[in-house]
Amino acid sequence: MPSEQRLHPLSFLFGIGAHLRGFALPILVLLVTTGRSGLGWQIWFLWLAIPYAVVAVGRTLSYRYRYDEHELVIRTGFLFRNERHVPYARIQSVDGVQNIVHRLLDVVEVKVQTAGGKEPEAALSVLPLAAFEEMRRLVSARRPAAAPSDAAVPADATEATATTDRARILLALSPRELLLYGFVEGRGMVVIGAMLGVAWEFGFADPPIPWFVDRFVTDEDQPRKPGDGVFRFLARAIFKGGNDLLGNVVIGLATLFVFLIVVRLLSMAWAAVRLYGFTLTREGDDLRTAYGLLTRVEATIPLRRIQSLSLHEGPLHRLVGRVSARVDTAGSQPGQNAPPDRLWLAPLVAASELPALSRQVLPTLSLGDFVWQRVHPRAGRRITKALLILIGLAQLPLAVGVGWWGLLSLGILVPWASLHGRRSASAMAFAITDDLVAYRSGWLWRRTSIAPFARVQAVTLRESPFDRRHAMAGVSVDTAGASTDPRERIAIRYLVRSIAEQLHRQLAHEAARRTFRWR
Amino acid sequence: MESPQPLKPPSVADGVEHSLDSRSIDVNRISGAVFFGILLLIAFAGAVVAAIAASGPVWARLLLPFAAVPLLGVAFAWFVYRWPLVEHRHISYRLDEDGIAIRRGVFWRHAIDVPRNRVQHTDVSQGPVERNFGLGTLVIFTAGTEHARVTLGGLDHGVALRVRDHLLATGRDDAV
């Protein structure tokens, strides 16, 4: 029997750390409050953390794993013992996450994922780096080779298996590209939100609060001073006709502009740190991504597990000629904020390099050859009509509350609804090739989802009463690991009814002809 | 479990739209009656409490529990009696070599096609009322997200078992 291995000796620290994270806020509150009023009875609440610490130490000491011939065996527990067998063939990926403390200690948090369930099959927290590399190597070596008949397995899969050791870099994002990514994605508000959160937790926000309260909350003896804030100042300047209207408007716009720039800059910094050194490599039948400056993430995407590909481009993406690409798999992703089951193929890739990259995932895909079929010619009018009804309902209370001049905003909203209806309807289109189906939508933020027939789980034809009135119908395609966001699914609406019926029939038949494989 | 009935391929996988078993109408009426019965009891209790608490002439206070609630009951009864009939007209299923297709919905209609070789596993379950009527519910599990679980209730229990056997007997290697 192969010898058993244990976790890294310092694992219990991370175990305690993980439990203490739940206590972080209460403890901080404790420290802050005791700092002001002296050590009080509250400190005794800290004893509550001790059972967690004992559990963490016990778990660390009892955790053992070994590599059997066909499976990974994990044993845990002293009192309640558990032995888990995970066959190598079922393992989808062995992923590692290293935050900054992990990196200082040369250890890594490992997650072993299989297809079933949302939780990782095994979470080994933490392993020495060498043990992680060994696990990866052993698991991928002992996993049986892919079935060659699968549509999603690239044609050169067998060649690639022969040269497993030679990894090919498919995409490496330079710092410049990362900054560009941060710029076009505009995630600066996330950073601001995080900073506010941190400031709040550590009490940095405490001094401004009394200041803020003093300024804006009125006392009985102190008359209120309206219009101290930038926006209120601006609003007052516009509506009350201040002494220097134009000057104030310019100052207000400049402030807004600077704010937007700061948000973009923060977003760029965020991207540079989070996705630092992003590389996508092809190793045999697996794609591997690695990124992160502080928290280092290494994730594996087995090609056989990829269910669909989705592309996303906003107006800024188009301006710089870039696209971002994700894949859906049946597993899940390490890392905190990212939605599960969605994996980066490329946060940002030049539009010209996209065809080559996407062929790695779906070998028969040639984006340029798609024959896009539009939706019903009256789709735009329906979208506009629905929007107008919504706008009307939203404007009603405004009109009652502010008076009829509140309806002035209709002057902008109505043309917008008409434009949005027309443009978004003309952006919607689907395409069918010999072995896959694609759907695109959105005119400002364009999304394209592509799924091979072999990955289609169910096909649905939908008709609402409104659809029937216009002789329209929708067709949606269900795949494993699909996003919960309906805009990122293949859910085609507003089709001409006869086309929808034909598409539904064709998709169901094509899917039935092909065997679905997890592996 | 009873011994499997001899499988006659044309009997299930015939590619023809089938309605559900007509006994399912009564099953739905019974479960609808139970649901709305409980709802009515709650409404009645609330009306009685309101009548006791309210002030005014006695006949006016009795109006709510003994006129409004029974009126509501009549409306419910009509709905519970009629609706399963309407629903039954709008549900059908079709089985062929490709798989199963289920159509349903009175106002918002949808037709789901699940290919046979995408079926991960299936259940045939029976509630107490269904058992009494000899009906069963077929539950099909796929690897999908939105339609990870597709149910078809109101089948004759024997038919449900045969449909299940047809869906599972692909003979092709498509296991996880």
Q: CB contacts < 8 Å between A and B, how many?
A: 91
Residues of B near A (CB-CB distance < 8 A)?
Answer: 97-99, 101, 105, 107-118, 142-147, 150, 172-174, 176
Question: What pLDDT shows up at residue A166?
Answer: 63
Q: Check if A478 contacts B (Cβ < 8 Å).
A: yes
CB contact under 8 A, B145 and A509: no
Question: What pLDDT shows up at residue A388?
Answer: 93
Question: Which residues, listed in sequence order, are joined to residue A330 by a DSSP beta bridge?
Answer: none
Specify if B2 maps to a domain. no
In whole angstroms, give the CA distance from residue A324 to residue A343.
11
Structure confidence at residue A113 as a pLDDT band (50, 70, 90): confident
Specify if B4 maps to a domain. no
**Site from A460, A495, A503 to mutate, B interface, most B CB atoms within 10 angstroms:** A460
Specify if B176 maps to a domain. no
- Minimal Cβ distance to B144: which of A478, A514, A515: A478
**Site from B113, B122, B150, B166 to mutate, A interface, most A CB atoms within 10 angstroms:** B113
The CA distance from B60 to the nearest CA of chain A, in Å, is 36
Question: What pLDDT shows up at residue A202?
Answer: 59
- Which 8-state DSSP code applies to residue A116? S
Q: Which residues constitute the domain of residue B115?
A: 12-18+93-168
**Nearest chain B Cα to A506, which residue?**
B113
Q: Give me the mean pLDDT over the A390-408 stretch.
A: 78
β-pair type (B135-142, A446-452): unpaired
B110: which chain A residues are within 8 Å (Cβ-Cβ)? 460-463
**Nearest chain B Cα to A114, which residue?**
B176
Out of B56, B87, B118, pick the residue that ends a domain.
B87
Dihedrals phi, psi of A168, to nearest 5 degrees: -110, 130
Question: What pLDDT shows up at residue B32?
Answer: 94
For chain A positions 65-124, those within 8 Å of chain B (CB to CB) are 90, 115-116
DSSP string, A426-486: HH-EEEE-SSEEEEEE-SSSEEEEEEEGGGEEEEEEEE-HHHHHTTEEEEEEEETT--SSG
CB contact under 8 A, A482 and B145: yes
In this structure, the answer to whether residues B64 and B116 fall within a common structural domain is: no
In this structure, the answer to whether residues B70 and B124 fall within a common structural domain is: no
**Nearest chain B Cα to A500, which residue?**
B111
A336/A273: higher pLDDT:
A273
In whole angstroms, give the CA distance from residue A41 to residue A74.
43
- Report the candidate in A284, A313, A282 with the shortest Cα–Cα distance to residue A146: A284
CB contact under 8 A, B145 and A484: yes
Query: Which percentage of chain B shows pLDDT scores above 70?
Result: 90
**Nearest chain B Cα to A117, which residue?**
B143
In this structure, the answer to whether residues B61 and B102 fall within a common structural domain is: no
- Minimal Cβ distance to B117: which of A464, A478, A512: A512
CB contact under 8 A, B110 and A517: no
pLDDT tens per residue, range A240-284: 555 566 777 787 788 888 888 888 888 888 888 888 989 999 888
- Report the candidate in A419, A426, A422, A392 with the shortest Cα–Cα distance to residue A407: A392
Question: What pLDDT shows up at residue A481?
Answer: 75
B149: which chain A residues are within 8 Å (Cβ-Cβ)? none
B101: which chain A residues are within 8 Å (Cβ-Cβ)? 508
Question: What pLDDT shows up at residue B133?
Answer: 94
B105: which chain A residues are within 8 Å (Cβ-Cβ)? 463
Asked which of A111-120, A400-409, B28-37 is least confident by mean pLDDT, the reply is A111-120
Sheet with A373-374, edge to edge strand ranges? A342-350, A322-329, A306-313, A446-452, A436-441, A429-432, A373-374
Is the pLDDT at B84 greater than 80, yes or no?
A: yes
Q: H or E stretch including A73? A: strand A71-76
A115: which chain B residues are within 8 Å (Cβ-Cβ)? 176
Question: What pLDDT shows up at residue A47?
Answer: 72
H helices within chain B, ranges in order? 9-12, 23-53, 58-63, 69-89, 128-133, 157-168
pLDDT tens per residue, range A81-99: 888 888 888 787 788 888 8
The pTM for the full model equals: 0.75
Query: Which percentage of chain A shows pLDDT scores above 90?
Result: 25
CB contact under 8 A, B99 and A508: yes
In this structure, the answer to whether residues B42 and B56 fall within a common structural domain is: yes
Q: Give me the mean pLDDT over the A24-44 stretch.
A: 60
Query: Which percentage of chain A shows pLDDT scores above 70?
Result: 75
Asked which of A19-23, A169-173, A374-378 is least confident by mean pLDDT, the reply is A19-23
In whole angstroms, give the CA distance from residue A489 to residue A480.
11
Is the pLDDT at A335 greater than 50, yes or no?
A: no
CB contact under 8 A, A458 and B118: yes
- Minimal Cβ distance to B116: which of A480, A489, A512: A512
Q: Give me the mean pLDDT over the B57-62 stretch.
A: 84
Out of B87, B110, B138, pick the residue that ends a domain.
B87
In this structure, the answer to whether residues B74 and B107 fall within a common structural domain is: no
pLDDT tens per residue, range B67-79: 888 999 999 999 9
Specify if B3 maps to a domain. no
Is the pLDDT at A377 greater than 90, yes or no?
A: yes
In this structure, the answer to whether residues B60 and B97 fall within a common structural domain is: no
pLDDT tens per residue, range B148-169: 889 999 999 999 999 998 888 7
Please give the mean pLDDT across all residues of chain A: 78
Asked which of A194-198, A299-303, A497-501, B143-147 is least confident by mean pLDDT, the reply is A194-198
Q: Check if A166 contacts B (Cβ < 8 Å).
A: no
**Site from A459, A488, A497, A507 to mutate, B interface, most B CB atoms within 10 angstroms:** A459
Q: Distance of CA A492 to CAs A438, A456, B151, Å?
A: 10, 15, 23
The CA distance from B31 to the nearest CA of chain A, in Å, is 26
CB contact under 8 A, B146 and A489: yes
**Nearest chain B Cα to A518, which residue?**
B176
A54/A401: higher pLDDT:
A54
- Minimal Cβ distance to B174: which of A115, A476, A516: A516
Domain count, chain B: 2
Asked which of A202-211, A306-315, A318-327 is least confident by mean pLDDT, the reply is A202-211
CB contact under 8 A, B115 and A463: no
In whole angstroms, give the CA distance from residue A416 to residue A388.
10
A487: which chain B residues are within 8 Å (Cβ-Cβ)? none
Structure confidence at residue A116 as a pLDDT band (50, 70, 90): low
Q: Give me the mean pLDDT over the A58-81 stretch.
A: 85
Out of B40, B70, B87, pick the residue that ends a domain.
B87
In whole angstroms, give the CA distance from residue A384 to residue A371.
26
- Minimal Cβ distance to B143: which of A460, A462, A480: A480
Specify if B108 maps to a domain. yes
In whole angstroms, give the CA distance from residue B141 to residue A180.
43
Specify if B6 maps to a domain. no
In this structure, the answer to whether residues B97 and B82 fall within a common structural domain is: no
Paired tokens of B41 = 């009891």
In this structure, the answer to whether residues B99 and B83 fall within a common structural domain is: no
In this structure, the answer to whether residues B40 and B60 fall within a common structural domain is: yes
A94/B83: higher pLDDT:
B83
**Nearest chain B Cα to A474, which residue?**
B110
In whole angstroms, give the CA distance from residue B98 to residue B170.
10
Question: What pLDDT shows up at residue A517?
Answer: 66
- ipTM, interface predicted TM-score of the complex: 0.83
**Nearest chain A Cα to B173, which residue?**
A515
- Which 8-state DSSP code applies to residue B65? I
Q: Which of A152-156, A211-215, A401-405, A502-506 has the highest mean pLDDT?
A: A502-506
CB contact under 8 A, A512 and B99: yes
Is the pLDDT at A141 greater than 60, yes or no?
A: yes
CB contact under 8 A, B113 and A476: no
Is the pLDDT at A487 greater than 90, yes or no?
A: no
In this structure, the answer to whether residues B83 and B105 fall within a common structural domain is: no
**Nearest chain B Cα to A480, which residue?**
B144
Q: Check if A463 contacts B (Cβ < 8 Å).
A: yes
Query: Which parts of A129-199 are beta strand (E)?
Result: 168-172
CB contact under 8 A, B112 and A481: no
Are A309 and A361 in contact by the 8 Å Cβ rule? The answer is yes
A146: which chain B residues are within 8 Å (Cβ-Cβ)? none
CB contact under 8 A, A489 and B118: no
Question: What pLDDT shows up at residue A235?
Answer: 59
A512: which chain B residues are within 8 Å (Cβ-Cβ)? 97-99, 115-117
- SS3 of residue A3 by DSSP: coil
The CA distance from B50 to the nearest CA of chain A, in Å, is 33
In this structure, the answer to whether residues B126 and B156 fall within a common structural domain is: yes
In this structure, the answer to whether residues B100 and B164 fall within a common structural domain is: yes
Specify if B1 maps to a domain. no
